[in-house]
Amino acid sequence: MTNRRGVAMLAALWLVVGITIVAMEFSLIGRERRQAGLAASDRARATAGALGAFAMTRAQLEAALRAGPTSTAGAIGSARAADPWLGVDSAFSGTMLVDSMRVEIRAVDLGTRLNANALSESEFRTLFSNLLGDFVLADQLAQAILDWRDSDEIARARGGERDDYLKAKLLRLPTNQSFRDLEELLDVKGMTPDIYAVVSPYLTTLGAAQVNLNTAPVPVLRVLPGMTDEIVARIQAIRSRGGRIASVNEVLPPVRTTVGRGAQDAVSVQSQAMSARASVLTTQLEVTMLAYASASARPVRLRVLVQRTNANGAPAAGVAAEEWR
């Protein structure tokens, strides 16, 4: 009898343990599903907030195009009259509340940056040489970036393809395609966080690779074909006195009538090459929204390429591309 009671008690204990384990599993599953549900809900709210913030920002951009500046007095007012998106980085960036949700907005004039997917090896070399002050390092990085970006598996002398990355035990291998996000540069052979911090403010992965002569920083200007110290100095002089460059020819050196036909043709070629890559208006923007559904939730990022266009005869802010993350 005693043995039977002991077996029954042991069986009951095992039953209790089994029920407890099952209950804990259901509790964990329920908790995971609840967390997944909350995360999905936060993302949906943040997505709606990012879309709302962009809609309002886009309306402001279009209003600026159609209404123009409130005043055309002075050099700044005159410049804004010709280019309503001038100074977009400060005028349209900031924090917005969308139904009590915080959304950080950052607008960038793409004319102040160089498209990392369009630059040639020599152009990367020029940019990095000016920024880093080290031609050897600039040459190495330029070759490594082109090897990462091009479609072949043939490594340049100072670059690197898949086998070089494997030998160096690097975490990521070349994608052999265009950069989707600028942070991918950090995976390129030879790139360090310190170097990236120096070069990234001058680069982007969006846009038509047109450089705005009125707003682009000097390191970006120097990459343009045919750019010289004389032309850079001319551009800086116009800017420093609050003036606005109305055309590319305005900053090119004048053609002397005493020079031969060959010199005149050289200046014409220089003008055409620079005109193909330069502009004097803010026509493309990168607008990024970071929406925070809650303090603990991961923000939703919406990045939009906004293009200055015309809709039904009126200037408009068209969406050329968008990316979620």
Q: What is the pLDDT of residues 204-218, one digit of tens each?
A: 999 987 999 999 999
In the prediction, which pLDDT does 178 show?
95
In the prediction, which pLDDT does 276 show?
87
In the prediction, which pLDDT does 94 show?
94
Per-residue pLDDT band at 53 (split at 50, 70, 90):
very high
| Strand locations in the chain (E) | 94-98, 101-109, 114-115, 203-204, 211-212, 278-279, 284-292, 300-311, 314-324
In the prediction, which pLDDT does 266 show?
63
The mean pLDDT value of the chain amounts to 87
In the prediction, which pLDDT does 312 show?
84
Residue 154 has pLDDT above 60, yes or no: yes
**CA–CA dist 288, 301 (Å, integer):** 7
Averaged pLDDT, 309-324 = 90
Per-residue pLDDT band at 255 (split at 50, 70, 90):
low
Which of 261 and 228 is assigned the larger pLDDT?
228
Hey, what are 62's tokens?
């279009």
Bridge partners (DSSP) of residue 84 are none
Bridge partners (DSSP) of residue 103 are 96, 291
Give the CA distances from residue 204 to residues 110, 118, 125, 131, 199, in Å, rounded to whole numbers and listed in that order: 8, 10, 16, 16, 10
In the prediction, which pLDDT does 82 show?
84
Question: DSSP letter string over 276-314?
Answer: HHEESS--EEEEEEEEESSSSSPPEEEEEEEEEEEETTE
| Strand locations in 2-141 (E) | 94-98, 101-109, 114-115
Residue 306 has pLDDT above 60, yes or no: yes
**CA–CA dist 150, 127 (Å, integer):** 19
Q: Parallel, antiparallel, or unpaired: how do β-strands 101-109 and 114-115 relate?
A: unpaired
Q: SS3 of 253, please? A: coil
Hey, what are 35's tokens?
């967390």
Residue 78 has pLDDT above 80, yes or no: no
Q: What is the pLDDT of residues 82-140, one digit of tens each?
A: 899 998 998 899 999 998 899 999 999 999 999 999 999 999 999 999 999 999 999 99
